[in-house]
Amino acid sequence: MQPAWDFAALQAWFAARPGQDILESDLLRAFFPETQSWGIGLELFQKHFLLYRRLWLFDDELRMATGERLWIRGIRSTLLVPAPDAHCGWLNPETGRYCLAPAPNRLCALHQAPLPETNSMKSYYLDWRNLEGMTEEGLNNLVDGFFRWMGNQPAVADALEVLGLSPEADARSIKARWRQLSLEHHPDRGGDPAYYQKLSAAWTALKALG
């Protein structure tokens, strides 16, 4: 199932979209064009894992070949232009910004540590055991934990409030609540169009995360 994403193909794809926030769904559609269903399941997790493993490896290849970096976080990835010459090119994974301290050798004294930079996401996707050992139950726990974490983020908390759900709501509860409210308040059933639009916007924001 693993696609043949060679360096040149990925480089050309991202080079056509410099500085753009590329959603995971865009990449999945581009590199797994045969996929028809986007529901949560082991097959989708496998594709997600293979995709992000390849993105992290691609970031390493970019750094060596061109000095560019791929800023990978959550469901978004962005191709960044290299740091200016004679400035530190260490990338903060939280902000997507380079250190940019004066550094003739591309890394300043602070970031010239003998150990490679660490990133928990990268470590997760480079470990094949996290793919091979995943089960349906493990995946459900992973997804529920993700939604609980995202429930603490302001935009998602607002969307959950629109649906009348708490930050602890899991993926199944969110989907069930959306179906219930969308049927009750659909304009074709006499519902308020403005309120239905608000519900739809909340559902769209939450669905994009899963």
Residue whose structure tokens are 């500085």: 19
Task: Say whether pLDDT at 33 is over 90.
Answer: no
CA angle in degrees (0–180, nearest 5) for 168-169-175 = 165
pLDDT tens digit sequence for 164-175 = 877 667 777 788
Coil vs helix vs strand at 38:
coil
What is the total residue count of the chain? 210
Instruction: Using pLDDT thresholds of 50, 70 and 90, give the confidence band for residue 54.
Output: very high
pLDDT for res 97: 87
**H or E element, residue 46:** helix 42-65
User: In angstroms, rounded to a whole number, what is the distance separating the alpha carbons of residues 132 and 200?
Assistant: 36
How many percent of the chain have pLDDT more than 70? Answer: 82
Q: pLDDT tens digit string along 68-109?
A: 899 998 778 999 988 898 998 888 877 888 889 998 877 888
**So what's the pLDDT on residue 37?**
55
Query: Which of 32-41, 72-81, 147-156, 193-202 has the weakest average pLDDT?
Result: 147-156
DSSP state at residue 102: B
Would you call 22 helix, strand, or coil by DSSP? strand
* DSSP reduced 3-state for 145: helix
Q: Do the Cβ atoms of 74 and 121 come closer than 8 Å?
A: no
Strand segments, DSSP code E, in 26-139 are 69-73, 76-80, 91-92, 97-98
- For the full predicted model, state whether its pTM sits above 0.85: no
pLDDT over 70 (residue 4)? no
Angle between the N-to-C axes of helices 171-184 and 136-150, in degrees from 0 to 180, rounded to the nearest 10: 70
Please check the confidence at residue 113 and state whether its pLDDT lies above 90: no
- Domains, the chain, with CATH or none: 7-132 (no CATH), 136-207 (1.10.287.110)
